[in-house]
Structure 1
Amino acid sequence: MASLFVPTCLPPDIVPSQPMKIVIFTIGTQGDGRPFVALGQGLVAHGHDVCIVTSERHKSLILGGGLSFAPIASDFADLMAQEHAAMDKGNQLRIGRQMSRALCDWTPLWVNQALEATKDADLIIGSGSGTALGASIAEKRGLPFVQAQFMPMTPSRNVPPLWPNPRFRLPGVLNLALTHCARVLIWRFMSRPIAIMRRELALPPIAWAGPWSEKDANGSRRYLLYAFSRHLQPQPPDWPKDRITVTGNWFYDQKNDWVPPPALEAFLAAGPKPLYVGFGSMMCGNPKAFTQLILKALRLTGRRAVIATGWGALKNQAGHEEDGLFFIDHAPHDWLFPRMSMAVHHGGAGTVAAAARAGLPQIVIPFLADQFYWSWRLHEIGVSPTILSRKHLTPETLALAIGRASALRITTAAHTLGPLINAEHGIDRAIETLSDWGLLGEKNPSGRSAEAEGAA
């Protein structure tokens, strides 16, 4: 199926001398999967065969993008539904422990599913919770592996740690030290399921400090693509350019394939551009109360709004069109955001990028993980007026933030950022980088032997 799909954004006649089978592991929410559909389409346009290994929940997304799909046992929607209390309190440690327990349950199934999906593979790419699995399978098979991430995780003097709070300005040496500490803490949560995984694969255990070295146990280099914009977070000079690249965002656009409901089009035509309010795949313990807080804030501003209920952080309360409010389940960001005046959201990397590309001022109400970082970063570059805490959020503070986001300096910064994001062509840069690293042609940087080929 993948070989029949050629996106119009890349020349279809660019075909490498040696087409490859590329397997991508992405385990998480739909926001984790969408960028890899875009990357996969770009790789297919260059003649490669791409299979994405992810949750059955995302099968239609992958197949709809013209790519091959392989299932893996995971359901992050169910996992987050079980952790409402921890998310409401911002308890990242409890969320980490619950994630570790879930991964321990899933891991034995993952190994067999991953080995099946990577038969005849030439290159493996992994992201998020799929990173350790993809890297371990690549190590077992003697294949090159590339990690792809949507938030800065590599220690740097110039980038504050994602945890506990990036807004604190620290000396460079402390940025380095705290990021190393954060990675060791992450490793403590992940070490048990990864130990199970590596035992199943008959691989040696990973040292106590975690899998952060520049080479794996086979001596192959660890490559890393950061799929975010350099205009949101520039690549710092102390990241090694020979194995780490900030490519720009990977956008999977669907505006030409999506038909909006007539009622939505009528609402948009009936007045000035509304706000967008949506929290994607996030959930909370009391969505009714959270929805009422949001609605009260919107009424205090007197602004029109399109409210996307997503996975359930907000409750659909259709019928408030007379109040200037329109509820939808979801809509492609590339269609909807150019019709909005501002975006109020959770700070997921994909939503941040889509709103930035549309030139929108942004207000972030973070729930977990890198969302706190992107909230801080948007404030730093001037497209968000404040840093909010969901735990202490009130209708009045949100209404005030919406008012401040309408200031000329914020809207000007946001409108200036949009064309810069559009001009990056992150997919092209990612593929060019993979080629420069020798991962997409006849050259075999893994140095795998005939024995490794046979074992695979």
Structure 2
Amino acid sequence: MRILLATAGSRGDVEPFVALAHRAVRAGHEVRLVVPDHSGADLADLDVVSLGVDYSALIAQQGVSPAAAFRSYRSVVKPLMRQVLLGSARAAMDYRPDLLVAHPKILSASVTADALSIPHVLVEIVPAVTPTRAFPAAGTLTRDLGRFNPATYRLASAGEAMFREDLSEVSRMVGSYRRRPAPPAATLLPISPVLLRRPDDWDASVHLTGPWRRDASETVTTEETGFAEGTVSAELARFLAEGDFVYAGFGSMATDDPVARASEVIRGIRSFGARGLIATGLGGLQVPPSLAGEDLLVTPSVPHEAVLPQALAAVHHGGIGTVHAATAAGAVSIPVPFIADQPFWGRRLHEQGLSPAPIPQRRLTAETVTRGLAEAESYRPAVESAARSMASEDGTGAAVQILEALG
């Protein structure tokens, strides 16, 4: 089967599709991956086509502020989304797949699949499209509205209205003129049931598969570091070998003052009495030279699967990729939500007894970090139990089986 996987967004939106692509290739399928430029994901050994957009550059230019996105809607956001819609459609028409698997940002997926007379699959990285009474759409509210929760999912359809002209252009380009293209043949959520219980009111075509991860057998361990080839530097390997530490990283949360934020986090870790491994990311944290010390290692990024199993705790922004990685590693999360789905996951972790209460971004201080780290130990048994459950999950394999049933 020829499968086209199309995704848009930052690294967290790309890496699950990379894992799925590798597993589908191993299963004997032809796979092409359509992705944005410079995501930071490892695309080696895959058939990859550029989407023609660079979310990393956008984040570097204006951060992740919703206000900045609103101000630049006409000059930046709308042209970028136009390229996403048209670029993914062109890639599909060129490849002529048997199945199209797409991120929700690929709003043109249904139109393109209709033109090719093939099924398409929606991939909800976070639960924000398929309505349920069980919880509000991730990225909207954190407060449970009960029977009114389904109303929060209307934001997904609002996106199509905002880009109606561009979708019409896609329709003309691919030759699809149906008023209502076919709905997804299936919806996949690469989320662990440990973190999200499957709602009873979801249709049978909606699948909570478990997270999509690369298989450990695909990596080669180096003698120098003892970790997977190309993932851990000698400097990082030495730091890990020296004992307990706290990991802190806020990824691409480039907003407000990253220097002040890093200062509070580092002071909090030091007050707790631990060493700190600081991942600066795409502007989430910025460590000034005045805070340097032998108890601190500062690096742009780290491989979560190598680092987090050894961390006392992980102070992070609460994106689903990091939530999965920390929980699967048995590391207690100290969530500091910023935007989008992050408050949703912070609340769910705490409600399920897997983390202290999330620290609101505006209340991030050395004191709140130290307090969270002090509380973390009481959550460790529950997190370690969750990690054991997640170890038996094969979300990537489950997703491939679902795709094969559609082919």
TM superposition score category, shorter chain reference: 0.7 to 0.9
* Match status 1:247 vs 2:228: no
Match of 1:309 in 2: 280
Contact 1:317 1:327 in 2 (8 A): no
Residue matched to 1:5:
none
Distance 1:163 1:117, change over 3 A: closer
Q: Which runs of 5+ in 1 are unaligned?
A: 1-19, 207-216, 441-456
Residue number among 224, 227, 244 corresponding to 1:273 in the alignment = 244
- CA distance 1:383–1:98, change in 2 (3 Å): farther
Which region of structure 1 is more displaced relative to structure 2, 294-303 or 320-329? Answer: 320-329
Equivalent position of 1:76 in the other structure: 55
Amino acid at match of 1:191: A
SS at match of 2:38: helix
Q: 1:184 aligns with which of 129, 150, 154?
A: 154
Distance 1:343 1:278 in 2: 8
Q: Give the letter aligned to residue 396 of structure 2.
A: I
Q: Does 1:439 align with 2:373?
A: no
Matched, 1:261 2:233: yes
Matches within 5 A, 1:1-80: 20-58=1-39, 61-62=42-43, 64=44, 66-80=45-59
Identity score, percent: 28
State the Cα deviation string for residues 424-450 of structure 1 (Å, max 9, x = none).
110111112223xx313xxxxxxxxxx
Q: How does 1:331-410 map to 2 (within 5 A)?
A: 331-407=302-378, 410=379
Read off the aligned partner of 1:258 and give its amino acid letter: G
Instruction: State the AA in 2 paired with 1:357.
Output: A
After superposition, the Cα gap between the structure-2 partners of 1:263 and 1:219, relative to the gap in structure 1 and judged at 3 Å, is: closer
Q: Distance in 2 between matches of 1:380 and 1:53?
A: 37
Per the alignment, in what secondary structure is the counterpart of residue 53 of structure 1? strand
Structure 1 residues 44 and 194, CA gap change in structure 2 (3 angstroms): farther
Distance 2:183 2:293 in 1: 61
Residue 397 of structure 2 aligns with an amino acid whose one-letter code is D
Secondary structure of the residue aligned to 2:403 is helix
CA spacing shift, 1:372–1:53, aligned 2, 3 Å: same
Q: Is 1:122 aligned to residue 98 of structure 2? A: yes
Aligned to 2:252, the other structure's residue is in SS state: coil
Other-structure match for 2:127 = 152
Q: What TM-score results when the alignment is normalised by the length of structure 1? A: 0.79
For residues 59 and 288 of structure 1, what CA distance do their matches in structure 2 show?
A: 23
Q: What are the superposed Cα offsets for residues 184-229 of structure 1, whole Å, 9 maximum, x if unpaired?
A: 33433552324313234225597xxxxxxxxxx3445542000000
C-alpha displacement at 1:411, in angstroms? 0.6
Q: Distance in 2 between matches of 1:231 and 1:112?
A: 37
User: Using the alignment, how far apart are the partners of 1:234 and 1:192 within structure 2?
Assistant: 32
* 1:226 pairs with 2:218: no
Q: Offset of 1:128 from its aligned partner?
A: 3.6
Question: Can you list the C-alpha shifts for 1:28-56, whole angstroms capped at 9, x where unaligned?
Answer: 11111111111111111111111111112
Give the equivalent residue in structure 1 for 2:166.
Answer: 196
- Check 1:302–1:59 CA distance in 2 against 1; reply closer, same or farther (3 A cut): closer
Quote the offset at 1:163 in angstroms: 4.6
- Code of the residue aligned with 1:415 in structure 2: it is E
Question: How many Å apart are 1:298 and its aligned residue?
Answer: 1.6
Identify which of 272, 286, 291 aligns with 2:257. 286
Q: Note closer, same or farther for the CA distance 1:381–1:219 as it changes in structure 2 (3 Å cut).
A: same
* Residue identity in the other structure for 2:295: G
Match status 1:162 vs 2:138 = yes
Alignment length (residue pairs): 391
Shift of 1:268: 2.4
**Secondary structure of 1:406's partner?**
helix
In 1: Cα distance, 2:31 partner to 2:123 partner = 15
SS at match of 2:7: strand
Query: For 1:75-100, what per-residue CA distance to the aligned partner results, in whole angstroms no more than 9, with x for missing partners?
Result: 2223333444x73xxxx476467567
In 2, Cα distance between equivalents of 1:376 and 1:106 = 32
SS where residue 27 of structure 1 aligns?
A: coil
**3-state SS of the aligned residue for 2:108?**
helix
Alignment check: 8 A CA contact 2:330 2:387 kept: yes
Match of 2:79 among 84, 97, 105: 105
Cα distance 1:395–1:359, how it changes in 2: closer, same or farther (>3 A)?
A: same
Using a 3 Å threshold, how does the CA distance of structure 1 residues 111 and 297 change in structure 2: closer, same or farther? closer
Distance 1:418 1:318 in 2: 36
SS in 1 for 2:278: strand
Query: Is the Cα–Cα contact under 8 Å of residues 108 and 200 in structure 1 kept in the other structure?
Result: no
CA distance in 2, matches of 1:103, 1:197: 15
Are the aligned partners of 1:365 and 1:390 in contact in 2 as well (CA < 8 Å)? yes
Q: Quick one: structure 1 residues 205 and 310, their matched pair in 2 at CA, closer, same or farther if it must change by over 3 Å?
A: farther
Q: Does 1:137 align with 2:112?
A: yes
Q: CA deviation at 1:381?
A: 1.2
CA gap of 1:80–1:112, structure 2 versus 1, over 3 A, is: closer
State the AA in 2 paired with 1:56: D
Number of the residue aligned with 1:13? none
Work out whether 1:430 is the aligned partner of 2:399.
yes
Distance 1:225 1:125 in 2: 9
Q: How high is the TM-score relative to the length of structure 2?
A: 0.88
